[in-house]
Amino acid sequence: MTNSDVPAAEDAVPTAVEEPALIHGVPSSLSRGQLVVHVDRDTYIQVVTALRDDGYRFCSDLTAVDYLLAADRLLPAGVTPERFEVSVALLSMEDGKRIRVRAQVPEANPTLPTLFELFPGTEAMEREVYDMFGVVFEGHPDLTRILMPDDWEGHPLRKDYPVGRIPVQFKEAPGPR
């Protein structure tokens, strides 16, 4: 964190592309000192289950990123970048450690198994990701839109979803969508 050792900072710049250490058989990396493991759809459940059994019993966050406009991001060797990435932040309360699971989700078939059985608290978070990104969580008990109206078209946080307007009462004619 400190800037005292300036020469060392240069080596530390490409943090995410150092030789990947394997955690539960999948590549890991350090992102600004935070431990990240990279999984794909097939290893997702298995790795998260293993991590939970390692003591990461609290799922603090589950969200997604649409890498449509930043496809050439830093990833360790052996990870195939896909358009969507679901990022799960797990927490081990015993040793106060965090780990992040970044799951690659292909654009063509954006599905991922649900974490609901492992962490029931991900229910609302997965609904939000479905609502905002259109990533379908297989096995989720109630995968409906949560923030947008039920009849909304499109998934607003996708990068190809433009910022636009909808007609509202008591205003001038609506602008371009």
Partner 1 sequence: MTDLTADTDEGAQEIKLRSQTSDEVRALEQGAVLRGVSHEDVDVELTDDQTMIINMGPQHPSTHGVLRLMLELDGETVLRCKPVVGYLHTGMEKTGEDLTYLQGPTNVTRMDYASPITNELVFAMAVEQLLELEVPERAQWIRMLMSELQRMASHLLFLATNGMDLGAISMMIYGFRDRESVLAFFEKVTGLRMNHNYVRPGGVAADLPDGWRDDVLAVCDALPPRLDEYDELLTGQPIWRERTQGIGVITTEQALALSASGPILRSTGLPWDLRRSMPYLHYNEVEFDVVVGSYGDVFDRYAIRLNEVRESIRIVRQIVDRMPPGDYRVQDKKVTPPPRARIDESMEALIHHFKIFTEGFKVPEGEVYVAVESPRGEIGCYLVSDGSAKPYRLHIRAPSFVNLQTLPHLMRGGLVADAVAIISSVDPIMGEVDR
Interface residue with partner 1, options 8, 13, 108, 168 (CB under 8 A): 13
Q: What character string, x for contact with partner 1 (CB under 8 A) and - otherwise, covers 139-158?
A: --xx-xxxxxxxx----xx-
Interface residue with partner 1, options 32, 108, 109, 166 (CB under 8 A): 32
Print burial letters for 111-129: b (CB count within 10 Å at least 16), e (below 16).
ebbbbbebbeebbebbbbb
- Using CB under 8 A as the binding rule, whether residue 93 contacts partner 1 is answered as yes
Smallest distance from partner 1 to CB 121, Å:
3
- Using CB under 8 A as the binding rule, whether residue 163 contacts partner 1 is answered as yes
Residues 37-76 interacting with partner 1 (rule: CB under 8 A): 57-61, 63, 65-66, 69-70, 73-74
Interacting residue ranges for partner 1, rule: CB under 8 A: 1-3, 9, 13, 15-16, 31-34, 57-61, 63, 65-66, 69-70, 73-74, 87, 89, 93, 96, 98, 100, 116-117, 119-125, 128, 132, 141-142, 144-151, 156-157, 163
